């Protein structure tokens, strides 16, 4: 998978979600909404975007940052 470049590949809202995930390590949509100040439907769309790009993964209703996501978050 090519390296994820946050400045080129991610919206500002997706960057906020990715940064929050990097700090929380694991979170629900509601927890991410609280941390970022974004509405839950926006969180859901951005998580879908991050999963498609390989930056986040979902298990048991919680979202985790992937290794690619960790590397991308360092560049934000």
| Tens-place pLDDT, residues 29-69 | 999 999 999 999 999 999 999 999 999 999 999 999 999 99
d(C-alpha 18, C-alpha 34), whole Å: 14
The ranges assigned to domains in the chain are 6-74
Q: Which token pair is 73?
A: 């978050």
pLDDT at 27: 97
Phi, psi of 58 (to 5 degrees): -120, 140
pTM, full prediction? 0.87
The domain 6-74 having CATH identifier 1.10.3110.10: the answer here is no
pLDDT at 24: 95
CA 68 to chain centre: 11
Beta strands 62-65; 56-59: pairing state: antiparallel
Per the rule left: phi > 0, alpha: psi between -120 and 50, beta: everything else, 25 is: left
């Amino acid at each position: 998978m090519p390296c994820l470049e946050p400045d080129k590949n991610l919206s500002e809202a997706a960057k906020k979600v990715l940064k929050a995930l990097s700090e929380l390590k694991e979170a629900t949509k509601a927890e991410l909404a609280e941390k970022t100040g974004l509405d839950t439907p926006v969180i859901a769309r951005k998580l879908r975007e991050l999963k498609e790009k390989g930056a986040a993964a979902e298990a048991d209703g919680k979202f985790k940052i992937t290794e690619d996501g960790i590397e991308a978050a360092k560049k934000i």
